[in-house]
Homo-oligomer: A and B are copies of this chain.
Amino acid sequence: MNVATIGTGWITEQFVDAVRESGKWTFAGAYSRSAEKADKLGGPRVFTDLNELAANKEIDVVYIASPNALHFEQALLFMKNKKHIICEKPMFSTTKELEEAFKVADENGVFLFEAFRNLYTPNHARLKEAIEKVGPVRHSFFQFIKYSSRYDNVLAGEEPNVFSPAFSGGALVDLGVYPISVAVSLFGKPKSISCHVMMLPTGVDGSGSVVLDYGDHTCTAMYSKITDSHLPGEIGGEEGTILIDHIAPITSIEFKNRRTGEKEQYAVREEENDMIYEAKVIAEIIESNDQEKYQYFRNVSEIVMQITEEARKQSGIVFDVEK
């Protein structure tokens, strides 16, 4: 299958490398408003017109890494032209957009994937195995906290895309979705949530906490784009505890048995570019029309979006697309 890309940031470069290394797909071309920028990705073709790309019969899959607020319109255009979509997180701005997009995907017989790179990796699968060891889970904690140099622009009175409600930005949807998606992938849909954030003058959040209440267990997701962190992640069960060094990528998964004190390492060594797994897994699902696996990832996207929408509602974050 032939893959084209939208967007020319570092994430697209990494995805193109992953496509090349996956052995599954062919990188067939890049779109950008700037032909020069698109050409730098090294593909055989450059597109500067989205409709031309949409009409191109040779392209089977489109990877979208444009600004968040553009994802919806672009995804719909390509899906209506029978192309499968891999869209960077956060895939869409609202549950309304998400539901509409999956409907269009179904109507056109194409797949729509959210690029939660951290959910396709071997170590995410290993983490699921390790959880079997801890007994009933009673607490868990995941964070994605990383200072963004764009915050310097906010402090200077500017409104960069990633911190702008006009571009559906903010720390919750940009980084918060990592810990939230891990929780949803491991534990499913929470019964209720609570969200508290630090609001920036731009109208979106700079940092915050979302507590996911599973009834028999409480999961805390912390995120921030205006601080740094050295906190590991943890899953605590009645029989033992799993400590993970980070959630994206995971390089250590240490299970400690509460009764014996014995430790066991579950992590395996992964490729440095973990988007290779994303590319491979998605290629396999499309090739084999694996509806069960597809539903799993689709379900995670749907629940994560419901959570972030509710979290934004609780904390007063309104995107321009909602106004």
Question: CB within 8 Å of B: which residues of A?
Answer: 138-139, 141, 143, 145, 147, 151, 192, 194, 196-198, 206-209, 211, 213, 215-218, 220, 222, 224, 226-232, 234, 236-238, 240-241, 243, 256, 258
Contacts and interface: CB of A to CB of B under 8 A. Distances in A.
A203 to B, nearest CB: 15
B198 A209 contact: no
Given A141-B143, A147-B238, A198-B217, 11 more contacts: A138-B198, A138-B206, A139-B229, A141-B141, A192-B196, A194-B194, A198-B216, A209-B211, A228-B258, A229-B241, A230-B232
Given A196-B192, A222-B139, A231 B229 contact: no
Given A192-B196, A241-B229, A207 B145 contact: no
Contacts of A147: 238, 258
Contacts of A241: 227-230
A138 B256 CA distance: 31
A196 B138 CA distance: 12
A143 B38 CA distance: 48
B220 A222 contact: yes
27 contacts: A138-B198, A138-B224, A139-B145, A139-B209, A139-B227, A141-B141, A147-B258, A194-B211, A196-B213, A196-B218, A197-B218, A198-B215, A198-B216, A207-B217, A208-B218, A209-B211, A211-B211, A220-B220, A220-B222, A226-B238, A227-B236, A228-B241, A228-B258, A229-B236, A230-B232, A231-B232, A231-B243
Contact of A218 (B138, B209, B258): B209
- Which one of A196, A211, A224, A230 has the highest number of Cβ atoms from chain B below 10 Å of its Cβ? A196
